Amino acid sequence: MDVRVFDGKAAASKAAFEVIKDAMNHGIQTLGLATGSSPVDLYDDMTSSDLDFSHMTSVNLDEYVGLDPKNDQSYHYFMNQHLFSKKPFKQSFVPDGQAADIEQAAKDYDRIIEEHPIDIQLLGIGRNGHIGFNEPGTPFDGGTHKVALTQSTIDANARFFEHEEDVPRYAISMGIGSIMKSKQIILLAFGEDKADAIKATVEGPVTEDVPASVLQKHNNVILFIDEEAAARLS
């Protein structure tokens, strides 16, 4: 795994942006995108650049089940606010958390991913090592699926909601199998909260108990992390 440590989130994000820019100059078509706090600086770099995304496709990792896209905590809303409203893509896919039949929506999303092979997948990482909303114990070979969020993830996300009980308990997430099919993976992690997860991802055994540890088996992964997130690496 290629681990790059930076003095701060802004520098790490800028370096990740350069990788995406370079890949776009080489003709990539599809970006896999993440939400959460980790990619925000990178999205700012993208929106303030002169890059044109209007020929590109984006495929997001996940969405809460049951939140209206107009709800400001939905991942649809987040992506519009941080990226799509400022830099429209030719087409942007985010899983449908409001589908009446979530199983069918998951199958439909897998077909979308097959039709749009992901050139670069952007990832954050949860404190428990989750990627997308693939919580510990998720099989490494799965596709898009409905997920019951763990208490650790609900607690981490509670900061974005007025009340803890407002945090959705379910999400729909791209599977680890699909993430691993991406040609390249960029993982962003910042702050000491992520230090244990980063150590387990990079130096621990490859185990479903730490979903991100599967990335050790991918041949083109770059971690852009700050010194705090790197603090426990040996």
Would you name the residues annotated as active-site residues? Answer: 62, 128, 130, 135
The least distance separating ligand F6R from the CB of residue 173, rounded to whole angstroms, comes to 7
Show the 3-state SS of the chain.
CEEEEECCHHHHHHHHHHHHHHHHHCCCCEEEECCCCCCHHHHHHHHCCCCCCCCCEEEECEEECCCCCCCCCCHHHHHHHHHHCCCCCCEEECCCCCCCCHHHHHHHHHHHHHHCCCCEEEECCCCCCCECCECCCCCCCCCCEEEECCHHHHHHHHHHCCCHHHCCCEEEECCHHHHHHCCEEEEEECCHHHHHHHHHHHHCCCCCCCHHHHHHHCCCEEEEEECCCCCCCC
The least distance separating ligand F6R from the CB of residue 50, rounded to whole angstroms, comes to 26
Q: Could you say which of 38, 92, 128, 138 contacts ligand F6R (CB under 6 A)?
A: 38
Q: Does 131 help bind ligand F6R (rule: CB under 6 A)?
A: yes
Binding mask 132-171 for ligand F6R (x = CB under 6 A): xx--------------------------------------
Q: Does 124 help bind ligand F6R (rule: CB under 6 A)?
A: yes
Pick the piece of the chain touching ligand F6R (CB under 6 A) from 23-31, 35-43, 49-57, 100-108.
Answer: 35-43
Pick the piece of the chain touching ligand F6R (CB under 6 A) from 6-14, 33-41, 42-50, 135-143.
Answer: 33-41
Q: Could you say which of 8, 22, 29, 37 contacts ligand F6R (CB under 6 A)?
A: 37
- CB-nearer residue toward ligand F6R: 35 or 201: 35
Binding mask 53-82 for ligand F6R (x = CB under 6 A): --------xx--------------------
The least distance separating ligand F6R from the CB of residue 26, rounded to whole angstroms, comes to 26
Q: Could you say which of 31, 34, 120, 197 contacts ligand F6R (CB under 6 A)?
A: 34
Asked if 111 and 143 count as a contact pair (C-beta separation under 8 A), the reply is no
Asked if 133 and 175 count as a contact pair (C-beta separation under 8 A), the reply is no
Q: Does 97 help bind ligand F6R (rule: CB under 6 A)?
A: no
Q: Does 116 help bind ligand F6R (rule: CB under 6 A)?
A: no
Give CA angle at 139 (134, 145), nearest 5°.
Answer: 55
Residue ranges that bind ligand F6R, judged by CB under 6 A = 34-38, 61-62, 124-126, 130-133
